[in-house]
Amino acid sequence: MVSTIALAGDANYLPLPMAGRVMARVLAVDPGKVRIGLAISDPTGTIARPLSILRHTSRREDALAILKAAAEHQAGLILVGVALDQEGEVGPQARKALRLVDVLREEGDLPIMTWDESGSTQAARRGPRRDARLDARAAAVILQEYLDAQKG
């Protein structure tokens, strides 16, 4: 079964408490064909920063590595970027991300949320460096958009 995308206003949407209050960190995931970018929020849910890059192996191994990173960084929520097409529909790449979400939910017990990450890689390319950390910066872009949306 493929997961649905929960955006603001949807029944599955999990808003965070107001920024500035101590809360659990959020781990963002930017899944790609070869690499998976990870980013983490500060404890107040205000600032996202690139964390690391995982090399894609299998969906299950990827999920276990993501869950391990979430535990190591005391994340209370995993946010997975899903690239919708220009019409806002789920295409092949989004379906792969949603299958990863399903495995994360099967293997772990943290809340998992999806976020439209369309354009995050292009935004990350505008950063100061263009190197292998692009995927982690793209995850940070996804996370920062999410954190900013929580503020109002």
> Looking at the predicted structure, is the pLDDT value of residue 152 above 90?
no
* Mean pLDDT computed over every residue of the chain: 82
According to the model, what pLDDT value does residue 22 have? 44
What ranges do the domains of the chain cover?
25-150
Q: What is the tens place of the pLDDT at every residue in 80-136?
A: 999 887 787 888 888 999 999 999 999 999 999 999 887 554 554 555 554 568 889
Average pLDDT over residues 13-31: 66
For the segment(s) 25-150, the CATH number from 3.40.50.1100, 3.40.50.300, 3.65.10.10, 3.30.420.140 is: 3.30.420.140
> Looking at the predicted structure, is the pLDDT value of residue 142 above 70?
yes
d(CA 142, CA 104): 18
